[in-house]
């Protein structure tokens, strides 16, 4: 039996991993908070204000009565144009066939979301608000605990962390207080609340099994720091809440580890502190722009730890530095092992990647590193990512989720989201040589060669040339 990670909303007729890139619109109709106000709008709850859990409580009904109304069901939908046959009444009333054609909303899945402020801001997963074709849903509605269903606007999404922020036009809503997920400990009691399998709002109980989990489900370009729990999480729970015994939000349920598609006691939630930092950016700017540090890092092994004279295996080792990049300007050298970033310990490569990902272009991050046993400090000042200008990164409209740059013989795949990879079999570092027998040396040539249906794609990979069958919807 193949064990696989599962991250998805409940689908209509089938389940499908939905993760793709999306750039939020900057139009006036997209809800925004004034710059600099998001931190106050989404505050971390003061632990002294929260009722302490009873010692050995007989029931958690009072806690769940406070928590459950703040969790909503999220319905992504696709607009389908349905053609109606012209009938005798249409002729009688003077309606043409074109006037009888209607665009109808068809629900494509189900997920959950959490109200984090009383004026209608809702956080959910990025993969919940995307359709099977890799694009953001044409329409999204949320169902509240009082059964009202309201339209929601997508304020922004960040596929790299699998988070999305929605806004509904409502006030006076029950909202969950945000807890400090850094204070959560292994063994703490937690509750998962969401709408699994469309059965209705459901609460399950478990404990924190582990922290700082990296499972690779957000792809090579993603950032992960999951809380692991054995509280039952199933399809439809995506985007729902993970709360502590005081009713504070400590995580957003995102994925499960399963060979069947159902819960086996290994679930993953995005920590609340990470969620809050991303949500503040989405609420004010509609997107998350990350800084560039001009260095490649790798895991520390026993040999690296010995060379750096570390007491144990920890940190992230710098393997390559870009000449003139932020890392080099800060005085770092290849072989240095970074052991702290932003005042926090760095245990793994993933932990440093996450810390770097939260720095805006022009922002500063203080790091502590070990060089042959000598501990040093440096201030890294990030720059804007030069990829788009220097390497000409682009996407093809027919292949959302796949980024290319021009190569010598064709188009080189720079990155591909997990959902696009599963659907197309395209992998990062491949060079697309031909599409349906036509050379794919330029963007226009590739776009002209692609067609709806199955496309025969000739690609060059590290192990040789391959022929892929890529379906375009």
* Catalytic site positions: 127, 162, 238
Closest CA to 148 of 116, 120, 109: 120
Within a 13 Å sphere around the CA of 359, how many CA atoms are in the beta-carbon half? Answer: 25
For residue 329, what are its two tokens? 């300007």
Within a 13 Å sphere around the CA of 68, how many CA atoms are in the beta-carbon half? Answer: 15
Tokens 């895991």 -> residue: 299
C-beta of residue 239 within 8 angstroms of C-beta of residue 7: no
Q: Residue 313, SS3?
A: coil
Residues 315 and 332: their CA atoms lie apart, in Å, by 15
Q: Residue 7, SS3?
A: coil
| Sign of torsion over alpha carbons 304, 310, 315, 321 | negative
Residues 400 and 468: their CA atoms lie apart, in Å, by 17
Characterize the bridge pairing of strands 295-299 and 267-271.
Answer: unpaired
Q: Which residues contact 94 (CB under 8 A, 6 or more apart)?
A: none
Q: Which residues contact 45 (CB under 8 A, 6 or more apart)?
A: 177, 178, 179, 248
Q: Which residues contact 73 (CB under 8 A, 6 or more apart)?
A: 110, 111, 112, 113, 142, 143, 195, 201
Q: Dump the DSSP string for 111-166.
A: EEEEEEETTTEEEE-GGGSB-TTSSBPSEEEEE-TTS-EEEEEEEEEETTTTEEEE
Residues 310 and 346: their CA atoms lie apart, in Å, by 13
């Amino acid at each position: 039996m193949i064990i696989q990670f599962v991250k998805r909303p409940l689908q209509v007729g089938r389940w499908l991993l939905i993760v793709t890139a999306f750039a939020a619109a900057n139009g006036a109709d997209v809800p925004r908070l004034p710059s600099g106000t998001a931190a106050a709008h989404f505050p971390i709850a003061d632990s002294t204000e929260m009722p302490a859990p009873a010692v050995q409580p007989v029931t958690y009904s009072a806690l769940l009565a406070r928590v459950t109304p703040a969790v909503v069901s999220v319905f992504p939908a696709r607009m389908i144009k349905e053609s109606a046959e012209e009938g005798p009444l249409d002729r009688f009333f003077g309606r043409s066939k074109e006037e009888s054609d209607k665009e109808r909303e068809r629900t494509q899945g189900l997920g959950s979301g959490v109200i984090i402020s009383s004026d209608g801001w809702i956080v959910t997963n990025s993969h919940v608000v995307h359709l099977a074709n890799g694009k953001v849903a044409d329409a999204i509605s949320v169902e509240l605990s009082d059964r009202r269903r309201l339209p929601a606007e997508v304020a922004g999404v960040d596929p790299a962390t699998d988070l999305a922020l929605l806004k509904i036009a409502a006030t006076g809503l029950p909202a969950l207080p945000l807890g400090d997920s850094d204070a959560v400990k292994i063994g703490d009691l937690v509750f998962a609340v969401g709408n699994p399998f469309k059965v209705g709002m459901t609460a399950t109980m478990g404990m924190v099994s582990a922290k700082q989990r990296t499972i690779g489900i957000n792809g090579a370009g993603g950032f992960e720091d999951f809380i692991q729990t054995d509280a039952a999480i199933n399809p439809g729970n995506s985007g729902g809440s993970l709360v502590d015994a005081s009713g504070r939000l400590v995580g957003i349920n995102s994925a499960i580890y399963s060979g069947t598609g159902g819960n086996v006691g290994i679930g993953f939630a995005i920590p609340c502190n990470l969620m809050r930092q991303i949500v503040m950016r989405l609420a004010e700017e509609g997107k998350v722009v990350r800084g560039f540090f001009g260095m490649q890092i790798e895991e520390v092994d026993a040999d690296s730890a010995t060379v750096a004279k570390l007491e144990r295996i920890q940190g992230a080792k710098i393997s390559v530095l870009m000449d003139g990049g932020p890392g080099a300007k800060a005085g770092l050298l290849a072989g240095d092992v970074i052991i702290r970033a932003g005042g926090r310990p760095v245990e793994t490569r993933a932990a440093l990647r996450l810390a770097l990902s939260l720095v805006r272009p022009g922002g500063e991050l203080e790091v502590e590193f070990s060089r042959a046993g000598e501990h040093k400090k440096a201030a890294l000042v990030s720059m804007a990512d030069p990829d788009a200008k220097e390497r000409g990164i682009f996407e093809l409209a027919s292949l959302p989720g796949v980024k290319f740059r021009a190569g010598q013989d064709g188009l080189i795949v720079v990155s591909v989201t997990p959902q696009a990879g599963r659907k197309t079999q395209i992998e990062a570092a491949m060079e697309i040589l031909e599409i349906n027998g036509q050379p794919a040396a330029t963007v226009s040539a590739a776009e002209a060669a692609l067609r709806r249906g199955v496309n025969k794609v000739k690609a060059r990979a590290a192990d040789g040339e391959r022929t892929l069958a890529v379906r375009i919807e």
